[in-house]
Amino acid sequence: MEKMKEFLSCGIRIRPAVLQDAEEMLQIYVPYVEKTAITFEYDVPDVNEFKERMRGILQKYPWLAAERNGEILGYAYAGTFKDRAAYAWAVETSIYVSEDHRRSGIGGRLYRALENILAAQNILNLNACIAYSDDEDIYLTQDSVRFHEKCGYHLAGRFHRCGYKFERWYDMVWMEKMIGRHAGHPDPVRPFTEIGEQEMRELLQ
């Protein structure tokens, strides 16, 4: 299986996303909204709203695209976990891979690159908010939990029947991963915009 994933992800380039990628990445997101409970969003945002979401993220955190032959096949980003100052060293991570390229190894590559950059920013805690149900259905499987477990995340908490979509109630779980040492005086968080091109290339290798 791992050799197959390596083959499928061959030729993939991970790069920082730019606002011009918004329309193509939005098309990846559309089926998650319309056909799954992976996101609790009901309505597909328009491209301008999606672009504004990107713009807000990129002021401080990375948003990455997985590209092959000029086509974006997936993306991942980090965002504010909570806006209080004490939460500065924690982020919420998100990832979406196109329907035709799931289980191809792209998600793992995106997350590894994302972690490299976040570590360089002095981020310590990665948190993922994941829709969950004990009973898998046509709208939601446990694949997201299994993926995050494989990436080194651990279950941190669960909220029951807090999301309603497709006339069904879903739980939500938080999973977390620590990527740094929690010192008495942590280094300040570096904005994503302070990472230069050379450092970025090294982090994405």
pLDDT confidence of residue 9: 53
Q: Where does the pLDDT of residue 26 fall: very low under 50, low under 70, confident under 90, or very high at 90 and above?
A: very high
Phi, psi of 61 (to 5 degrees): -125, 165
The whole-angstrom separation of Cα 199 and Cα 192 is 11
pLDDT at 57 over 50: yes
pLDDT at site 82: 96
Say if residue 5's pLDDT is above 80. no
What pLDDT score does 100 carry? 84
Where residue 75 sits, what CATH number does that domain have?
A: 3.40.630.30
b/e string for 136-152 if b means 16 or more Cβ within 10 A?
A: eeeebebebbebbeebe
Residue 116: pLDDT band (50, 70, 90) is very high
Structural domain for 49, as ranges: 2-204
Q: Check: CB of residue 158 under 8 Å from CB of residue 131.
A: no
Q: Distance between the two ends of the chain, CA-based, in angstroms?
A: 23
> For residue range 136-162, what is the model confidence (pLDDT) as tens digits?
999 999 999 999 999 999 999 999 999
Domain count for the chain, please give it.
1
